[in-house]
């Protein structure tokens, strides 16, 4: 992205680009809720029209159907740095977001109070609360359309990102991976040959090697789980032997993984100026794919469109064929 300079001052809003991209990955979840609403009510109308006119019983049925969805090939919802919410929390947050309320800060303490006073199930307390909020305040909200909800999601993601300490570059890479998975889901309504996708919310360790971003893929049949690994390397300076050291580390990790009985898919992400072309070739020969962003990591704001398309196609190949 180009810098925006106004009267010699940089006013570029890099964070908005990444948050907007992450918010767009909530669209498959929105579409899934809409399909559920149509199925429950028998209506051909969109989610906005259904929620604006539905009675309490229908709103409750829609929400409870989303909570109780047992199918593991369901869409995902994420926080401000791309960590996946558990399904129950994702439902609670999504419905709370569309009625313009902050679930963790405002609703959670009230729901905890309800449960203490009446000894009721958490999901019952959450769903009953959301039903009443939607039914009472929908005329104030006026719209549950995707464009309206998208603005709310961006705001909520920015709030969650501010509250999460230790945000690092891996959040940008995780966002790109999420985008690729959600792109596939929006087209096919599933994750191909896999019934479940679990994206790790932090670094993982395999042997002596730390992997920044990863995902666990569970096949639909009886096959063993597979793991997608995305190690990341950054370098702010142009000199030094970092490229050779990193290449050596990656190749060592690949050799160890090949000796493991588990199945791995591996992508390397490098954000550095003038990384050795020879070393890039050495890495590329050992793993599935390399993404090199020729820039200072301080200026990295996520995958550009061309790189995202490449990642989308790679993920499509993995989900289609394993």
Determine the pLDDT at residue 285. 73
How confident is the model over 304-322, as a mean pLDDT? 93
Torsion region of 142: left, alpha or beta (phi above 0 gives left; psi -120 to 50 gives alpha)? left
Q: Answer whether residue 313 shows pLDDT above 90.
A: yes
Residue of 255, 322, 316, 321 whose CA lies nearest to 285: 255
**Which of 50-59, 94-103, 109-118 has maximum average pLDDT?**
50-59
CB 279 within 8 A of CB 245: no
CB 21 within 8 A of CB 175: yes
- Could you report the per-residue pLDDT of 227-270, keeping only the tens digit for each? 999 988 877 655 445 666 667 777 777 677 666 656 789 898 98
- Could you report the per-residue pLDDT of 72-83, keeping only the tens digit for each? 778 889 887 778
**How far is the C-alpha of 178 from the C-alpha of 184, rounded, in Å?**
10
- Could you report the per-residue pLDDT of 170-204, keeping only the tens digit for each? 888 998 999 999 999 999 989 999 998 999 988 88
CB 63 within 8 A of CB 98: no
How confident is the model over 274-299, as a mean pLDDT? 78
The pLDDT mean for the chain works out to 85
């Amino acid at each position: 992205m180009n810098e925006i300079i106004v009267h010699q001052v940089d006013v570029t809003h890099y964070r908005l680009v990444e948050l907007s991209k992450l918010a767009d990955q909530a669209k498959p979840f929105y579409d899934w809720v809409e399909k559920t609403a149509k199925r429950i009510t028998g209506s051909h109308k969109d989610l906005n029209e259904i929620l604006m006119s539905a009675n309490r019983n229908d709103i409750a049925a829609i929400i409870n159907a989303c909570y109780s969805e047992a199918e593991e090939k369901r869409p995902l919802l994420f926080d401000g740095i791309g960590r996946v919410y558990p399904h129950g929390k994702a439902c609670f947050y999504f419905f709370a977001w569309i009625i313009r309320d902050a679930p963790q800060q405002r609703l959670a303490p009230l729901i905890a109070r309800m449960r203490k006073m009446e000894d009721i199930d958490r999901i019952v307390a959450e769903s009953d609360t959301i039903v009443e909020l939607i039914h009472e305040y929908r005329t104030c909200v006026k719209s549950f359309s995707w464009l309206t909800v998208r603005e709310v999601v961006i705001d909520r993601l920015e709030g969650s990102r501010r509250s999460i300490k230790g945000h690092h570059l891996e959040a940008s890479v995780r966002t790109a991976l999420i985008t690729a998975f959600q792109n596939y889901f929006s087209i096919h309504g599933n994750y191909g040959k896999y019934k479940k996708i679990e994206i790790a919310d932090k670094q993982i360790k395999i042997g002596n090697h730390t992997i920044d971003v990863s995902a666990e893929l569970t096949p639909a049949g009886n096959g063993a789980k597979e793991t997608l690994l995305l190690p990341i390397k950054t370098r702010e300076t142009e000199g030094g032997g970092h490229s050779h050291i990193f290449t050596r580390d990656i190749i060592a990790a690949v050799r160890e993984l090949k000796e493991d009985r588990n199945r791995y898919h591996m992508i390397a992400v490098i954000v550095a100026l003038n990384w050795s072309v020879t070393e890039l070739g050495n890495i590329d020969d050992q793993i599935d794919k390399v993404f090199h962003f020729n820039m200072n990591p301080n200026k990295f704001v996520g995958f550009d469109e061309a790189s995202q398309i490449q990642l989308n196609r790679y993920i499509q190949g993995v989900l289609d064929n394993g």
